[in-house]
Amino acid sequence: MADTEYYDLLEVSKTASQEEIKRAFRKQAMKYHPDRNPGDKTAEQKFKQINEAYEVLKDEQKRAAYDHYGKAGVFGQGNPFGGGFDFSGGGFADIFNDIFSDFMGGGSARRSGPTSSRRGIDLRYNMNITLEEAFHGTEKEVTIPTVENCEKCHGNGTKNGEKPDICSMCHGSGKVRRQQGGFFVFETDCPMCHGQGYVVKEACPDCHGAGQVKENKKLKIKIKSGVDTNMRIRVAGEGTAGMFGGENGDLYVDIIVERHKLYERRGDDLYAIVPVSVSCAILGGKIAIPGIDGQKVEVEIPAGTQNDALIKVKGEGMHLYDSEKRGDLYVSVRVMIPHKLTAKQRELMEAFQRESEDEKCQPEIKTFFDKIKDLFN
């Protein structure tokens, strides 16, 4: 029978992925760590066993040897890969550094060297545009405060323009480690180079050793039609400059579409409240309003239109994003009652009222009382 002890210790199957093995080890290590079980020899022994299991299973080559030959395949007895495996080399501290580095930004915290390439920082910019600009699309020129590599020292920060010296304390890693509690390792920025990994002995007079200088950069940003609030546009390479040959960061432009005097936007549709006269609402007719595209939009008002009626005008809304297709326009009718009437208008209205004598001021009075009579009962 194949040896499954290491899998059993981590409580995973033989087909478990590397990510599943890593999660299982983290769970078991936190459970049995001596700092959480002071004086418990059983927990300490268990902790050593799960560390041993993880150290083998996390390595594809060692895992393959273990799967075929058991522990003998890993520790040299019949190992087809040659040689044994010695746990004394890295120790528990390195194992924990590997596992828990995920909580400190992901991946290894170690650097390849003090002057290895470093990517620039991403920048963010809020851009306000009008609804018309969102409809048509536009191009805006903006000024972005950023940093660029110093031309005098070529981004190295040194007076002679050459790469700076490696820090003698951290040997270029930018970090120093101290072990506490027997197993946990704490990393902090190197106090000599302040986490940079290098030391500038004679600073460049232009950038004062920083390797970069502040600069206001003018850019033209193209906005596609149909863009909406909270959309984000990525402009590659327009963030801060990378250091030591690293690529630039990116610029992210967050769009804010301003409120419009007439229209309210809901997705790709537009809504507008439009006043109409009493006579137009009663008899029907046509009205014209300015469209978002700059053209007049004719709206047909049916006879007998009530206040707050919603009329749909197809294809007169916003452009869909980066498309010629358009949403719809919805017109909410607001019937305007005149405050004052001329003598002739009053005469005509009184004649209209006489023709509708049974309606008076409540044309649906009978229906109204039928609806509420149960409330009085």
| CA distances in angstroms from 268 to 128, 277, 314, listed in the order given | 18, 29, 12
Q: Tokens for 221?
A: 């940003």
Query: Does pTM top 0.85 for this prediction?
Result: no
In a domain, 36, yes or no: yes
- Where does a domain end: 89, 104, 119? 104
pLDDT in tens, 86-136: 333 334 444 444 444 444 334 333 444 545 677 888 999 999 999 999 999
HSE of 363, CA atoms in CB hemisphere, 13 A? 5
Letter for the amino acid at 329?
Answer: L
| Extended beta strands in 224-295, E state | 232-235, 251-257, 263-266, 269-277, 285-290
Number of domains in the chain: 3
Looking at residues 68-84, what average pLDDT do you find? 54
Q: What is the pLDDT of residue 195?
A: 78
Q: Domain residues for 372?
A: 343-377
Residue where one domain finishes, among candidates 104, 130, 163: 104
pLDDT at residue 163 greater than cutoff 60: yes
Residue-wise DSSP of 72-124 = HHHTTTT-TT-S---TTTTHHHHHHHHHHGGGGTSS----S-TTS-BPPPPEE
> Based on the domain organization, do 351 and 332 belong to the same domain?
no
Domain ends where: 104, 122, 142? 104
Judged against a pLDDT cut of 90, whether residue 331 lies above it is answered with yes
Residues 168-177 pLDDT 10s: 888 888 888 7
CATH number for the domain harbouring residue 82: 1.10.287.110
Distances (CA, A) of 213 to 143, 148, 217: 16, 6, 12
Q: In this structure, what token pair is assigned to residue 129?
A: 């545009």
Position 113 in a domain: no
Please check whether residue 94 is in contact with residue 224, taking contact to mean a CB–CB distance below 8 angstroms: no
Tokens of 357: 């004598």
Q: Is 275 left (phi over 0), alpha (psi -120 to 50) or beta?
A: beta
CATH value at residue 321: 2.60.260.20
